[in-house]
Structure 1
Amino acid sequence: MNDKTIVTHDGNFHADDVFSVAALKCVFPTFNLVRTRDNAIIQEADIVLDVGGEYDALAGRFDHHQRGGAGEREDGIPYSSFGLIWKHYGVQICEGDEELAKSVDAGLVSTIDAIDCGHTAGVTTGISLSHTISMFNPTWQETGDFDACFNEAVSFASRVLARFIASANGGLSAKAIVAEAIEKADDPRVIVLQQYTPWKRTVHSLAPEALYVVYPSQTGQWRIQTVPAELGSFEDRKSLPQPWAGLNGEALQAVTGLDDAMFCHNGLFIAGAESFESTMKMAAIAVNA
């Protein structure tokens, strides 16, 4: 067997060392994991992370606790062991897709690094993924096996990492689809998607005139949705017409003059009709209201 020996520190663990091991599981089918601070074992290991006081990717050393740390990103977020591992192996884990690797770093890796390094400016407060990983440690009232708990945390982190990569990949694919729809729009105020894809971030960055997005629902009907004034905001660039608020079926059909209009949310941010044609007519009414 030519399995590598990967070493990290023993005892209490955090998200950076847990996710580092989860990432390495994507690269190496099997390896021997040793959790220790024994310098003799560390010196003989193939890969060392979050311990050892050395950062040298080519030598397989990925610690950030040494004096001066291990560098930082352009936005000032320092690297923890996870960031160093991702910097070296991220593109490989993402099957050669550099843009995807950067997206995962921006959305997941850098946040874990920031919390681990105490660089919390701009990091959302409350229970974070890093805090969740820390809760896998035995509490002071428990006599659990730290290594067994670490392995459990790695299994959880591996699943999170895989789903985050899949989500980031979906977001990048959606960006291209939405960008094309924006370019092809007959009216820049109404963006039409032939299939539902996440659209808000791309519309905000590329379509400042857009007021509504029209797309098919999973059940075959069509929807019209307002573009938020800001990402994450409950305010819209332009709400749907006030007389539609909370109406369904015949009541909405009477107001719109469309015999297959289905509903309009009371919050005036989404409505729907059976057909594409009627949904586009709803968009035209809304634009001119």
Structure 2
Amino acid sequence: MKKTIVTHSGKFHADDVFSVATLMHLYPDAQLIRTRDAALIAQADIVVDVGQEYDAQAGRFDHHQRGGAGARDNGIPYSSFGLVWRYYGLAVCQGNPLLADKLDANLVAVIDAIDCGYGMSGNEQGVSLSHTIGLLNPTWQEADNFDDCFGQAVQFATTILMRFIANATAQLDAYQEVVVAIEQAEEASIVVLDKYIPWKQAVHEHGQQVLYVVYPSPAQQWMIQAVPVAPDSFDNKQSLPLAWAGLSGAELQQATGVNDAGFCHNNRFIAGAASFAGAMKMAKLACQN
């Protein structure tokens, strides 16, 4: 039977927009009603961000009632999006709890925090995703067509949600591939990837002895990159040799003895060679430095 989803009418925010986007992804043939009519709310299968009730089993996902609707262990309160994701997120992520948790941390909790004013001083600047959703409301100078604008906002939010899922999936898949590459490395200090994928987090957590990562680049050369001391650090465990800094072409080939060496960055965190053999030779030389 086709489900009926109700959210409030009038001005919308990121929490109700993303809640509906999540639900419509799961129930694409559902009927959406925007109202504050208590009778229509009572008859709905799922109610979001209105109704003064939180009962996931009954399909009620509001957080405006006295006392709110609870908070995460880190203190961030749940808005309607967080409540919907808490109940339906695993299904959206096809049963993958790591993916659902990653989306919660990187998208859902951020929207919840902004909607609930958690940790905000009132002096925040810049454009957030929540602010962007808010911009889709009609201004006082435009026609009062909130429902049409809400539909556009849900389409936008659906695109963003799907891109968050795609990117988070890619990160989790890359993590596993890098762990396998670390386990299969011929030398503990050098990890070889057959394509570029995000590698820093996995190497940081599973490759304590890894100093360099070798991978192909779209520029048809092989790269040697130094492993940072932390995924977001600019300091390397062991930088490439000082004698290579800023060299390229013939000068670098003479300094390394590698006949297809291409360049070495002046900050000694990355270098390149035309062939895999050349890149590996440079990586081994760097390890000995």
Same fold (TM over 0.5): yes
Q: Distance in 2 between matches of 1:255 and 1:167?
A: 40
Aligned to 1:255: 255
Aligned to 1:268: 268
Q: How does 1:96-115 map to 2 (within 5 A)?
A: 96-115=95-114
Identity %: 57
Q: How does 1:197-208 map to 2 (within 5 A)?
A: 197-208=197-208
1:86-114 CA distance string (max 9 Å, x none): 11111111112222112211221111112
Contact 2:249 2:263 in 1 (8 A): yes
Contact 2:213 2:224 in 1 (8 A): yes
Q: State the 1:245 CA deviation.
A: 2.6
Tell me which moved more, 131-140 or 101-110: 131-140
Q: Distance in 1 between matches of 2:202 and 2:60?
A: 38
Q: Distance in 2 between matches of 1:125 and 1:165?
A: 27
Q: State the 1:227 CA deviation.
A: 1.8
Flag the 1:66–1:198 CA change in 2: closer, same or farther, 3 A: same
Aligned to 2:277: 277
Aligned to 1:86: 85
Aligned to 1:229: 229
Question: 1:177 and 2:180 equivalent?
Answer: no
User: How does the TM-score come out when normalised to structure 2?
Assistant: 0.92
Q: State the 1:23 CA deviation.
A: 0.6
Aligned to 2:217: 217
What amino acid is aligned across from residue 103 of structure 2 in structure 1? V
Q: State the 1:21 CA deviation.
A: 0.8
Q: State the 1:248 CA deviation.
A: 2.4
Flag the 1:59–1:164 CA change in 2: closer, same or farther, 3 A: same
Flag the 1:195–1:90 CA change in 2: closer, same or farther, 3 A: same
What amino acid is aligned across from residue 232 of structure 1 in structure 2? D
Across the aligned residues of Structure 1 and Structure 2, the Cα RMSD in angstroms comes to 2.0
1:30-72 CA distance string (max 9 Å, x none): 1221111111111111110011111111111111111121122
1:3-31 CA distance string (max 9 Å, x none): 22211111221111111111112100212
Flag the 1:125–1:236 CA change in 2: closer, same or farther, 3 A: farther
User: How does the TM-score come out when normalised to structure 1?
Assistant: 0.92
What amino acid is aligned across from residue 100 of structure 1 in structure 2? L
Question: 1:19 and 2:14 equivalent?
Answer: no
Q: Which runs of 5+ in 1 are unaligned?
A: none
Q: State the 1:176 CA deviation.
A: 0.8
Contact 2:114 2:120 in 1 (8 A): no
Count of paired positions: 287
